[in-house]
Amino acid sequence: MQDVWKTYPDGSHALRGVSVLIERNEFVYLVGPSGAGKSTFMKLIYREEVPTKGQISVNGFNIGKLKPRKIPYIRRNIGVVFQDFRLLPKMTVYENVAFAMEVIEAPKRMIRKRVMEVLELVGLKGKVNSLPAQLSGGEQQRVAIARAIVNNPAVIVADEPTGNLDPETSWGIMNLLEEINFRGATIVMATHNKEIVNTLRKRVIAIENGVIVRDEPRGEYGYEI
Amino acid sequence: MRFSTLLRHLREGSLSLARNGWMSFASISSIAISLFILGVFLLLSLNVNNLTKQLENQVQIRVFLDLEISQAKIEAIGRSIGALPEVSRIRFVPKAEGLEMLRRNLGEDGQGILDDYDDTNNPLPDTYTVEVVDPERIAEVAAKIQEIGDADPDKPIRSVRYGQGTVELLFRVTNAVRNIGLIIVLGLAFTATLLISNTIRLTIFARRREIGIMKLVGATNSFIRWPFFIEGALIGFIGSALTTALLLAAYNWLVQSLQVEFGLMMIRLVTVWESGLLVGGVLIGLGTAIGIFGSALSVRKHLKV
């Protein structure tokens, strides 16, 4: 990311000249007060927003200049996880995950195999036919993570993945994300969870008012809640 | 697109029809009801059309010949009129038959009036009854027939009558009825289109999250659109097929039970077999097309993320 500015149509500057390099296979926490620009930072990575100024490349693609037609293809290499899970309520666990593979037109047999594989990884093999509403919050987030990683993306973007979960469940999710990071994916995670950041030490990037104020290799959360 | 993907879209489209039970039900009934009203008017205007055509075809020209012309001349005139391309049928009505017809028309009350007349002192002229190909151009044809008579020095044609004035009025009325019918049908088709696409827009609005998630995992726009297409087509087809079946069954019953009464009034209703293909084709075609376009347009709006 080089000198990235993002100004919303209402005139507010969400990001003001942000430059940062995140290496392959890094695990990065994005911290900062609400409204500081964390979400915008994430949205720029998966190209839901376009920078007003500056350049962003992900996996070597200049995302800002991408033709709209190409957007779906770069998104297949980025897995996104949200605070509110965003599962399709009328599809089963299996269908929710398989869906991401159907989109890339993978052969059916491969889908079956790979979906079962990731569901085993996230520990939900026994709940393939449940609907999201029948699962706990932690389980739903696991489904969302399974969907994010099913296509083996190089980057996982997680926007407060533990925001809606109790501490114990949150640790389960963190172990899962670490495991995924260990297997080779780059992880960018926005969080307000001080305990996690201070215990599971990783690189910490702090954003305030659209500017990076701190960037430490094995940083601390640094804010009092 | 891979074949397996097409299958996936077909399966996904029909599955989501079931998943979104109530919304699908709303769309299907909206289509069925709007098209039912349209179908009723369609049948009505088909019948009106048929009736006016019957009336129009009863219009004929009567050519009154001079009382004192030879048989040869009568035949020559008949041939000349029959040779006109606008004439579809010509029939010679000798004066004896004319007298007979007049007696019948006068009925019992007028029985005595014509008693003194017989073949020897028949006051009526021989006539030709002429039917034309295009009833709307009857005045033109009548004028041509008059010209045939005028061209002859003996002036063998005394007069040409086709109900001047009345016929013109009849055509004005039938044309007006037909145009009004067409306008009503078009207006209803337009309203039905709006109503249906609005319902479909609502169902898709309710699923914008789904579309958002599809985009997030990297689905191309056409991939997202296809299942909605298929769903829309199914909704349109089911709704309009239901309506068509119901409408034609009801109409068939109506025709059968009214046949006798209307027959006595010399009115022939359009049968289901004559109208079914047209009505069914229009309703099902329109319903399916609206289903597809309604969902295609609504999805498009949500794809611009």
Mean pLDDT of A134-139: 90
Report the residue of chain B nearest A145, measured CA to CA. B217
Mean pLDDT of B281-298: 83
Please count the other Cβ atoms lying within 10 Å of the Cβ belonging to residue B42: 22
pLDDT of B180 > 60? The answer is yes
Prediction pTM value: 0.66
Write out pLDDT tens, residues B18-42.
777 787 888 788 888 888 888 888 8
Chain B CB within 8 Å of residue A140 CB = no
| A70-74, B58-62, B196-200: which is most confident | A70-74
* Cβ pair B217:A46 closer than 8 A: no
* Chain B closest-CA separation from residue A223 CA (Å): 31
pLDDT of B221 > 60? The answer is yes
Mean pLDDT of B182-210: 77
| A10-19, A103-112, A137-146, B250-259: which is most confident | A137-146
Domains of chain A: 2-216 (3.40.50.300)
Domains of chain B: 3-55+169-303 (no CATH), 60-161 (3.30.70.3040)
* Cβ pair A151:B4 closer than 8 A: no
User: Which structure tokens are listed for B245?
Assistant: 């079946």
Mean pLDDT of B186-215: 77
% residues pLDDT > 70 (chain A): 94
**A:B CB pairs within 8 Å:** 49
Half-sphere exposure of B106 (CA within 13 A, CB side): 13
pLDDT of A98 > 60? The answer is yes
* Cβ pair A90:B20 closer than 8 A: yes
Chain B CB within 8 Å of residue A108 CB = yes
User: Which structure tokens are listed for B156?
Assistant: 């063998």
Mean pLDDT of B202-211: 77
Q: What pLDDT does A9 receive?
A: 65
From CA B108, how far away is CA A223, in angstroms rounded? Answer: 114
From CA B205, how far away is CA B218, in angstroms rounded? Answer: 20
Sheet containing A155-159: which strands, arranged edge to edge? A78-82, A155-159, A186-190, A27-31, A203-208, A211-216
| Residue B264 confidence class, pLDDT cut points 50, 70, 90 | low
Q: Write down the residue that tokens 């033709």 correspond to.
A: A67
* Cβ pair B215:A107 closer than 8 A: no
- DSSP character string of chain B: --HHHHHHHHHHHHHHHHHTHHHHHHHHHHHHHHHHHHHHHHHHHHHHHHHHHHHHHT--EEEEEPSS--HHHHHHHHHHHHHSTTEEEEEEE-HHHHHHHHHHHHTTTTGGGGTT--TTT--PPPEEEEEESSGGGHHHHHHHHHHHHHHSTT--EEEEES-TTHHHHHHHHHHHHHHHHHHHHHHHHHHHHHHHHHHHHHHHHTTHHHHHHHHHTT--HHHHHHHHHHHHHHHHHHHHHHHHHHHHHHHHHHHHHHHHHHHHTT--PPPHHHHHHHHHHHHHHHHHHHHHHHHHHHHHHHH--
* Chain mean pLDDT for chain B: 79
Sheet containing A13-18: which strands, arranged edge to edge? A13-18, A2-7, A53-55
Could you report how far apart the first and last alpha carbons of chain B are, in Å?
A: 23
The CA-based diameter of chain A, rounded to the nearest angstrom, is 50
Q: What pLDDT does B72 receive?
A: 80
Chain A CB within 8 Å of residue B222 CB = no
From CA B38, how far away is CA B240, in angstroms rounded? Answer: 11
* Chain A closest-CA separation from residue B218 CA (Å): 4
Q: What pLDDT does A6 receive?
A: 66
pLDDT of A187 > 90? The answer is yes
From CA B119, how far away is CA B96, in angstroms rounded? Answer: 6
A146-184 in b/e form (b: 16+ CB < 10 A) is bbbbbbebebbbbbbbbbbbeeebbbbbbebbeebbeee
Q: What pLDDT does A157 receive?
A: 92
Q: What pLDDT does B109 receive?
A: 63
Chain B CB within 8 Å of residue A84 CB = no
Chain B residues whose CB is inside 8 A of the A61 CB are: none
Q: What pLDDT does A7 receive?
A: 65
Q: Are A192 and A16 in contact (CB under 8 A)?
A: no
Which has the higher per-residue pLDDT, B11 or A28?
A: A28
Q: What pLDDT does A188 receive?
A: 92
From CA B106, how far away is CA B85, in angstroms rounded? Answer: 35
Report the residue of chain A nearest B220, measured CA to CA. A72
Which has the higher per-residue pLDDT, B263 or B174?
A: B174
User: Which structure tokens are listed for B172?
Assistant: 């004005």
pLDDT of A113 > 90? The answer is yes
Nearest one of B10, B26, B15, B57 to B230, comparing CA atoms: B10
Mean pLDDT of B190-194: 76
Q: Write down the residue that tokens 């430490």 correspond to.
A: A216
* Cβ pair A80:B216 closer than 8 A: yes
Write out pLDDT tens, residues A10-57.
667 778 888 888 888 899 998 988 878 888 888 888 888 888 888 888
Mean pLDDT of B235-249: 89
Q: What pLDDT does B73 receive?
A: 80
Q: Which of A149-153, B100-104, B184-188 has the lowest average pLDDT? A: B100-104
* Chain B closest-CA separation from residue A36 CA (Å): 23
From CA B274, how far away is CA B111, in angstroms rounded? Answer: 44
* Cβ pair A99:B220 closer than 8 A: no
pLDDT of A145 > 80? The answer is yes
Chain B CB within 8 Å of residue A70 CB = no
* Chain A closest-CA separation from residue B134 CA (Å): 59
Which phi and psi (to 5°) does residue B271 adopt? Answer: -80, 165
Q: Which of A13-22, A99-108, B99-108 has the lowest average pLDDT? A: B99-108
Nearest one of A140, A134, A95, A109 to A122, comparing CA atoms: A140
Q: Which residue of A102, A150, A157 is the best one to mutate when testing the B interface, meaning the one whose CB has the most B CBs within 10 A?
A: A102
* Chain mean pLDDT for chain A: 86
pLDDT of A99 > 90? The answer is no
Apex B220 CA angle, A22 and A128, nearest 5: 80
Q: Which residues pair with A53 in a beta bridge?
A: A5
Q: Write down the residue that tokens 């014509």 correspond to.
A: B114
Write out pLDDT tens, residues B55-82.
777 778 888 888 777 778 888 888 888 7
Q: What pLDDT does A3 receive?
A: 62
